[in-house]
Amino acid sequence: MTDRVILHCDLNNFYASVELLERPDLKNKPVAVCGSVERRHGIVLAKNDIAKHLGIKTAQTVWQAQKLCPDLVLLDAHYEKYNHFSHKVREILYEFTDIVEPFGPDESWLDVTGSTRLFGSGEEIAYKIKQRIKEETGLTVSVGVSFNKIFAKLGSDYKKPDAVTVISKENFKEMIFGLSADSMMGVGRHTYLKLQRIGINTLGELAAADRRTLKSELGVMGEKLWYYANGLDMSPVVSQNDLPDIKSISRSTTNKLDLINNEDVWKTFIGLSEEIARQLEENDFYALKLTVMVRDESLSWESYGKTLDNPIHLSIDIAREAMSVFNSHYDWRTAIHSIGIAVSELILSSEPLQISFYSSDDGENDNLEKECENIRERFGKNAIIKASMIDFDINIKQQKNFGG
C-alpha cells in the first residue's frame, strides 16, 4: 500500500504579516497586532519575529507587552483583510489538490498523494506552494511534509519561518523523539503536566510509554497520544468539497480569543444558531437532535448530544438547547479553543409534527425570526442583530453537512 503524502501549511505570523505588507517601514521593528482594548481588554493577537525574539507572546495583555518592549509598535486588527488573504492562499492550495482541510484561517492540511505524478514529490510540491504563495500574496508559509496529519503539523512547526520540513517513516524517530511532548498537537499545558507527573517529558518517552498507563492517567486521549507519537495516526484529510447528502447541519468557530465563561459561550451560540437556522429554513427542515462540540487546548473535539422533546428550527431555540447541553456536560477544566453546534435527525417542515402538550410555541417567534431574516436579506447580514451580540466578534468559519 502506497504511503499517504500529507502536507500542513502554516502561514507565518499571519495577522502581523498581512499588516506589514502595507507598512514596509515597520519591517525592522517589533510589531504586534492587538485586539480592541475597549472590547476585550486588549491582548496581543499576533506578533512579528522581531517581537517574538524580544519575548512578546500571543494572548499577552498589551500593557505587559509594552512593559517588556517599550518600542513595540501596536497595530489594530483588520479581519476583512485576513479573510481576503486566507481565501487567496486557499485558492492556490486547491490548484495542487482538491483534498484540503482548513484548520483556522492560516493553516490547512492537504492530501497530495494523488498529485505527486503531476507535481513531483511531497517535498517538491511544498516548495512550489511556498513559492506561489510568496509571489502572489507576499506572505511566507512553513510547510510540513509527512505520511500523516499529526507529523505534517509537527513538521510545519519544526522550523520557522518560511521553511519546508520532511518527517518520514525513516527519519521521524531521529527528528522528533527528542522534542518536548507538548510540541505535538493534542498535548496542551494541562496534559503536559500530567505526562510530566508520570515521568514523560519528550515525544520519545511518550512513544515508549505503556499504553495502559497512559489510558489510566489520561483516559482515551492518553492512548490516542501514544498512537500519535508512534506515527500511527491514520485520520484522513477531510475535504469540504466532498460532502454527502444533508443528514445534519453544523457550524463551528474558533474565536479570536479562547472562550472563558458562559457569557462568551452564549454569545457564540447565538451567532452559530442563526447560521444553522438560516440553512434549516432554506431546506424546509426541523431538527430532532442537537449536539454541542467543544475543543479545548488539547485540540481534540468532545461531543455532547441530546434528543429533543420538540422539533426545533428557530435560532433562539437552537441556542437555548445548546446552552442547556453545554451546562450539563462541560465543567470548565480549561478555556475553550473552538466550539460548535450540530443539528440532526432532520425532518421536512411539511411533515406532521408531534408537539409537546407543554409547548409554548404559538408562532410569534417564528414570524419574528422570518421578518428579521427578510431585513437581513434586503440590507445585509448585520442590518439587525441581537443586543447581546453588540461588540462581540464571532468568525463562523466552517460548515459541515455530513451523513448520520
Grid cell locating 255 = 474565536
Answer yes or no: do 396 and 341 share one domain.
yes
**In terms of domains, do 211 and 295 share one?**
no
Predicted confidence at residue 389, as pLDDT, reads 46
Q: Which of 101, 107, 275, 297 is catalytic?
A: 107
- Domain end, chosen from 238, 257, 272, is at 238
Is position 232 within any domain?
A: yes
pLDDT score of 94 more than 80: yes
**Lowest-confidence pick of 45-54, 233-242, 363-372:** 363-372
- C-alpha cell belonging to residue 112: 497530495
Q: Which of 5-19, 109-123, 298-312 bottoms out in mean pLDDT, i.e. has the lowest?
A: 298-312
Residue finishing a domain among 188, 207, 238: 238
DSSP element (H, E) containing 149:
helix 149-158
Range 147-171 average pLDDT: 96
Q: How many domains does the chain have?
A: 3
Residue 11 belongs to a domain:
yes
Amino acid 186: pLDDT? 85
302 noted as active-site residue: no
The pLDDT value recorded for residue 245 is 58
Average pLDDT of every residue of the chain? 84
* Mean pLDDT (whole number) for 320-349: 89
One domain, residues 181 and 160? no
Note the pLDDT of residue 89.
Answer: 97
- Position 362 scores a pLDDT of 39
% of the chain beyond a pLDDT of 90:
56
CA angle, 105 as apex, 395 and 238 as ends, to 5°? Answer: 105
Regarding whether 233 and 280 lie in a shared domain, the answer is no
Same domain, 216 and 277: no
On whether both 199 and 99 belong to a single domain, the answer is no
Confidence of residue 1 (pLDDT cuts 50, 70, 90): low
Side-chain-side CA neighbours of 398 within 13 Å: the count stands at 23
pLDDT tens sequence across 236-251 = 998 865 544 567 898 9
Give strand pairing partners of 338.
295
* Structural domain boundaries, residue 152: 1-169
Which pLDDT does position 242 carry in this prediction? 56
243 domain-assigned: no
Binned at pLDDT 50, 70 and 90, residue 169 comes out as very high
On whether both 277 and 349 belong to a single domain, the answer is yes
Q: What is the pLDDT of residues 190-245, one digit of tens each?
A: 889 999 999 999 999 999 999 999 999 888 889 999 999 999 998 899 886 554 45
Cell (9 digits) for 293: 462540540
Express each pLDDT in 103-144 by its tens digit: 878 999 999 999 999 999 999 999 999 999 999 999 999 999
> According to the model, what pLDDT value does residue 83 have?
86
pLDDT of residue 379: 44
147 and 21 belong to one structural domain: yes
Is residue 295 very low, low, confident or very high in pLDDT (cuts 50, 70, 90)? confident
CA torsion 262-391-271-398 (nearest 10°) is -100
Average pLDDT over residues 70-96: 93
**Cis bond before residue 161 (omega within 30° of 0):** yes
Residue 202's pLDDT is 98
Mean pLDDT of 301-321: 89
What pairing do the DSSP bridges indicate for beta strands 396-400 and 100-102?
unpaired
pLDDT at 63 over 90: no
CATH code of 89's domain: 3.30.70.270
Please compute the mean of the pLDDT values over residues 332-341 and round it to a whole number: 89
Both 142 and 198 in one domain: the answer is no
pLDDT on residue 118: 96
Max mean pLDDT range (20-24, 249-253, 377-381):
20-24
Per DSSP, the residues of 171-217 read THHHHHTTSBGGGSTT--HHHHHHHHHTT--BHHHHHHS-HHHHHHH
The proportion of the chain whose per-residue pLDDT surpasses 70, expressed as a percent, equals 82
pLDDT at 371 over 50: no
Residue 145 falls inside a structural domain? yes
Identify whether 141 is part of a domain. Answer: yes
Residue 397 has pLDDT above 50, yes or no: no
Domain-located, residue 225: yes
Based on the fold, state whether residues 234 and 267 are members of the same structural domain. no
Distance in angstroms (rounded) separating the CA atoms of residues 98 and 80: 25
16/159 same-domain check = yes
CATH number of the CATH domain containing 299: 3.30.1490.100
Cα separation, 160 vs 65, whole angstroms: 22
- Give the domain CATH number at 207: 1.10.150.20
Residue ending a domain, among 114, 146, 169, is: 169
Q: What is the mean pLDDT of residues 167-185?
A: 96
